[in-house]
Amino acid sequence: MRSRADCLALDAADPLAPLRDLFTLPKGVVYLDGNSLGALPKATPHRIAQVMHAEWGTDLIKSWNTAGWIDLPRRIGDKIARLIGAGAGEVMVADSTSVNLYKALSAAAAIARFDSPRRNVIVSERGNFPTDLYIADSVARANGLELTLVEPNEIAAHLDDRLAVLMLTHVDYRGGRIHPMAETTRAAHRAGALMLWDLAHSAGALPVELGGDGSPESAADFAVGCGYKYLNGGPGAPAFVWAHPRHTARMDAAGWRQPLSGWLGHAAPFEFSADYRPAAGIGRFGCGTPPILSLAALDCGLDVFGSAEALGGIAALRRKSIALTELFIEQVEAHCAGHDLQLVSPRDPQQRGSQVSFAHPNGGYAIVQALIARGVIGDFRAPDLLRFGFAPLYTRYVDVDDAVGALAAVLDSGEWREPRFHQRAAVT
């Protein structure tokens, strides 16, 4: 069990400690919800003001050219590519995760069925994030496919000759369990299916290798992810989409399109042709006009990772993430014993993302609300999870000590039983 002095010493020796100074974090608050909304980079307000006052306010529509607005989805996509094991020109920032998932899953299913019409099943986890399941259901209904939802230990049994696409979230949003990416992708490919990954809870927090482990069969087919969690792009930041070049090249050759063929997915949008011709490569996954203010904010969030590169990059961030979550579990189990908290996240840190979740028999919502009242911000996930995210760019070891101290006080005092903490807000 670590003391507060131990935590302060860990912070003093932390090579990533300078990165915290790049963020605006309110005094007196321990923020453990970066896995839901990343903190504000200090550079973002100035950048947004520049876009508003100079690029929009002064240069007006000229800024699509003079400020390079039209290139932002690709340029920012290249920054994300470096974090997820993709190549330059392979990632596009556009729309929301849900919209991108519809586009990517539709394309993957179409390719799989073209190669083998018998393949008419999409498989995902029953506990996957709901929007992924809703979108998969929409794709299945629109294309005469079947959506099969399974438990994690049942996936292998559904890798058969009817499977078109295996769609999984790399890090489970509830408990933080990590799917072994290369191994799972390889298994899907051996069954003749395509592999689609949702990277919402992993991009920016741990190493991601969409290209696999060096063997062609371990390279994923499609991926999507969001920009407002560990990438710190701000509330509602645009999402991203990736497709392996082997698929975009094939789509180029066949003239295939994704189903949401908006004008900025056109090969020449400013020809204003009535006939649709898909852009080459990942460009075909564009759709509507990009949100420039939001893209500028996301650009600032990703610039922080450039600063992290000099301090060890994503590998160093992952080491710190593991250290923070290990410390949190150790301290909670030492200081909160006897209060019916059950660890839901994997105990093995190599199988755990950058979050820790505990279940509580009384639901957990009121406990989280009582913690927030004490200045410790985590979140609640139904039906019974207290979820805490550890963003290694700015979370400190002393934050862990403060958070566990507050949690122990909430539980020991029983203050979470007060009626005010049981009143449900719209967002949990």
Question: Could you tell me if 182 and 168 are in contact, meaning their C-beta atoms sit under 8 angstroms apart?
Answer: no
* Alpha carbon 39 to its chain's center: 14
Interacting residues of 194 by C-beta distance below 8 A, sequence separation 6+? 108, 111, 112, 164, 165, 166, 188, 221, 222
What is d(CA 419, CA 428) in angstroms, rounded to the nearest whole number?
A: 16
Neighbours of 64 (CB within 10 A): 17
Characterise 326 by phi-psi region: left (phi > 0), alpha (psi -120 to 50), beta (else). Answer: alpha
Q: Of 91, 93, 72, 102, whose CA–CA distance to 260 is shortest?
A: 102
The DSSP 8-state label assigned to residue 278 in this structure reads: B
C-alpha angle 222/226/232, rounded to 5°? 140
> How far, in Å, CA of 155 to CA of 172, rounded?
15
CB neighbours of 309 closer than 8 A, spacing ≥ 6?
none
Those residues with Cβ within 8 angstroms of residue 134's Cβ, 6 or more apart along the chain or in another chain: 98
Length of the chain: 428
Instruction: Report, as residue numbers or ranges, the catalytic residues.
Output: 129, 198, 228-229, 387
